[in-house]
Amino acid sequence: MRIVWGLIAVSAFVAPLCAREPVPFSVGEKLVYAVEYGPISAGTATMEVSEIAEVNGRTCYHIVSLESTNDFFSRFFKIRDRYDSYIDTTSLATVRFEKKIEEGKYRAESHVDIYQDSLIAVYSDGDTVEVIPDAKDAIATLYAVRTMDISVGDTFYISNHTDKDNYLLEITVPRLLKVHTDLGVFECLEVQPLIEGTKVFSGRKGLTVWFTNDEWKIPILIRSKIMVGSIQAIVREIEFGE
């Protein structure tokens, strides 16, 4: 079910990609997705820019992501996950990341504060680890990619800090594709991430994200291969911010 957050975090690029000003999202933007396992409706996922907050002396976008299974799917495996990402409004680097996981009988809750000036991350269990410059969690990465001027044929690398690990992510943009949704047909850039030498993705096409080919770069469709088949989140509602 964690298809929205296997994703990306930005720092180094093969070709120079320029951030846009202003960013193509604002407080109040909300994206609602229908989550599907093959032909079966599995639940709902949302991403919302909920507020501007002051965290650890930084002005941040507070982005909330919720994932939950529907009544039918919950009979077999119930999910109620929440992720809160606090992203520096200037650099889009992660300042704080919180997660609360409820999956079946499994429960977990944790947070991490990332101090970009000293390049350390302090976890709620007391561990302190080093981070790479401008480290981003998966949600921060997704929103950072939305600010980039990407096009078909681009290849670039991204730095990420997740669960006490730093790693590079190769991202390719192989093609344009029309994605059909209940809201209409969108021309999208297909984006494929690959993490070398990790278990996050088993192959180049393990996870694919389709962003609208416009100034908003809205992630319209997110699809992940799993052990049997695939699971996807496809947008069904878009609420623009202030």
Averaged over 174-192, what is the pLDDT?
96
Give the C-alpha distances (Å, rounded to integers) separating 114 from 120, 132, 185, 200, 201. 6, 10, 39, 22, 25
pTM summary value: 0.86
Least confident of 46-55, 123-132, 161-170: 161-170
The per-residue pLDDT for range 14-68, each reduced to its tens digit, is: 333 444 457 999 999 999 999 998 889 999 999 999 999 999 999 999 999 999 9
Averaged over 140-161, what is the pLDDT?
89
Identify which has the larger pLDDT, 212 or 7. Answer: 212
Averaged over 62-87, what is the pLDDT?
96
The alpha carbon torsion through 82, 67, 88, 194 (nearest 10 deg) reads 120
> CA-CA distance, 121 to 172, in Å (whole number)?
29
Show me where the domains of the chain are located.
Answer: 30-239
